Amino acid sequence: MLLHEGLRLTLNPAAPDVVALVGGGGKSSTAFRLAAEVASLGKRAVIAPSTRIAAFQTAWAPAFLEVGAAGLPFAAIEQCLDQHGYCLLGGPVVGDRRLGLEPGEIDALARRAAELGIAAITVEADGSKMRPLKAPAAHEPVLPAATTHLVPVAGLDAVGVAIEERTVHRPELVCTVLGLASSPPPHLTPAHLAQLLQHPGGGAKGRRPDMRFIPLLNKADTSLRLIYGRLTAALLAEQGVASLAARVGAAGQPPVVERWGEVAVVILAAGGSRRFGRPKQLEVVGGAPLIVRAVRTAQRCGAGPVLVVTGAEDSAIRTLLTQEQAQVTCIVNPAWRGGQATSVRAALQALPATVEAVIFAPVDQPFLNALLLRRLVQAWRVGADLAAPWVDGELRGAPALFDRRYWHELAALEGDVGGRRVLLAHRDRVVSVPAEATWLYDIDSEEDLQALHGGSPTYVNA
């Protein structure tokens, strides 16, 4: 997965992405690689640090322009972008460092983005003295007002290592933020890293509600570091914080190894069971009503919140789930007679803003295995925006996963159709995951139910 995909950049010069990178462990590499990515797409980007950078880093860009007392050289910037697609801006050299731009200058560049065709501006917004981890000083970070993305970066080579000067910039501040004694130096754990990255005195310093906040766990280039990254990312996801495990410095490989965040499971249980003849959601299979079985399976997935869309049997379903003490959110769809699309829309409107992707699952698959749901989630983590089960050479439509990039298409569905229509419209982008046919056995008729029971069905009339 590429950086611009993981960060969800829109790449629209009319509203440019201004990505501020803070922390340590690969900010400069990320700033340059992201700009190069944008240029490779035929769009334009500018690297505009707001803090000092090493003087030698000017050689990392295809073109460099010095910004002096006269202000931004807009004509020269446009010329560089015409020729190279991206360029680096910086101030004069002082010693072995080059000064960064003032935040107001970066804001001015963002205001001229549409005119210059600039889709993204990457901003290294603090320094770390080449350490993989840091805590910001009082004057840091230096964030432009135009910042749209705040990306705290941390090197996973800091995990499992003592919090001291050799690996951490300002170790005493890191310990203060984490509430740890600095002597003897404690070792950094994934839990510490997750806490530091989202702390208002750490990686989240300067964060505004209108910014997209997404930590980047860099140097996930060994098995052990990837494990550390996954542990950290899982802890962040539990707090509703999306993150990326990356290897930005690995040449010839996609920079993002995995993306993490909340993945909700939505159980569609609003229908009136007209063809079935009675409330299908309440039928007992294997000792439990279908709705209870579906909720238990969804909870075993463990990737995010579980929502149940109710309608015709709202009261009965809520009673059963209360008895089950299920940690779910019930969403009533008053327009359930309008078809499955209305339930999909109701669910999308109710999803928390922290959810990155959603799995829609029907209530009538009694043998659905949580392993399949976890496979869908893992497909999303490694880059699939759409994922669905593959059984006996056929792509099935439920359960299926949809990244939020496709939610607007789901919300536009009408009638008795679900996500399968979106899957078919983008068949070349759907990632299939293996499943067993029994997992997807669904109950559509009395005959289906009797085949399971071997006789008369049993159901709950709650």
Domain CATH code at residue 281: 3.90.550.10
**Pair (439, 427) in one structural domain:** yes
What's the pLDDT at 272? Answer: 80
Determine the angle formed by the axes of helices 190-198 and 171-178, rounding to 10 degrees: 90
Query: Cα(118)–Cα(139) distance, rounded to whole angstroms?
Result: 28
| Residues 373-383, mean pLDDT to the nearest whole number | 99
For 149-189, the pLDDT digits (tens) are 999 999 999 999 999 999 999 999 999 999 999 999 999 99
What confidence tens digit (pLDDT) does each residue in 288-325 have? 999 999 999 999 999 999 999 999 999 999 999 999 99
Q: Which amino acid is at 50?
A: S
**Does residue 462 surpass a pLDDT of 80?**
no
244 and 380, same domain (yes or no):
no
399 and 423 together in one domain: yes
pLDDT attached to residue 446: 72
49 part of a folded domain: yes
CA 446 to chain centre: 42
Enter the tokens of residue 159. 């995990």
For residue 235, tell me if it sits in a domain.
yes
3-state helix vs strand vs coil in the chain, percent to 5:
35, 25, 40
Confirm if 356 and 401 have CB atoms less than 8 A apart: no
Residue 459 lies in a domain: no
Please state the rounded mean pLDDT for residues 192-197: 99
Q: Is the pLDDT of residue 279 over 50?
A: yes
In a domain, 279, yes or no: yes
CATH number at residue 249: 3.40.50
Tokens of 194: 């997750």
Residue 462 forms part of a structural domain: no
| % of the chain exceeding 70 in pLDDT | 96
Q: Tell whether 247 and 333 lie within a shared domain.
A: no
The dihedral over CA atoms of 270, 276, 281, 286, expressed in degrees to the nearest 10, equals -160
**332 and 391 co-located in one domain:** yes
Q: What number is the average pLDDT over the span 329-336?
A: 97
Residue 284, Cα to own-chain centre: how many angstroms?
37
> Is residue 458 one of the residues assigned to a domain?
no
Q: Are residues 209 and 303 in the same domain?
A: no
Q: Which of 225, 260, 295 is the last residue of a domain?
A: 260
328 contacts 307 by C-beta, under 8 angstroms: yes
**Which residues are CB-neighbours of 261 under 8 A, at least 6 positions away?**
237, 241, 242, 243, 304, 354, 355, 356, 357
Query: SS3 sequence, 82-118?
Result: HHHCEEEEECCEECCEECCCCHHHHHHHHHCHHHHCE
Residue 206 confidence (pLDDT) above 80:
yes
Same domain, 278 and 151: no
Looking at the fold, whether 138 and 269 belong to one and the same domain comes out as no
Is the residue at 461 inside a domain?
A: no
Position 277 scores a pLDDT of 63
The residue among 204, 225, 260 that closes a domain is 260
Question: Same structural domain for residues 102 and 125?
Answer: yes
**Residue 35: what are its φ and ψ, rounded to 5°?**
-65, -40
Which of 291, 370, 351 lies closest to 324 in space, CA to CA? 291
Our count of domains for the chain comes to: 2
What is the residue range of 448's domain? Answer: 262-453
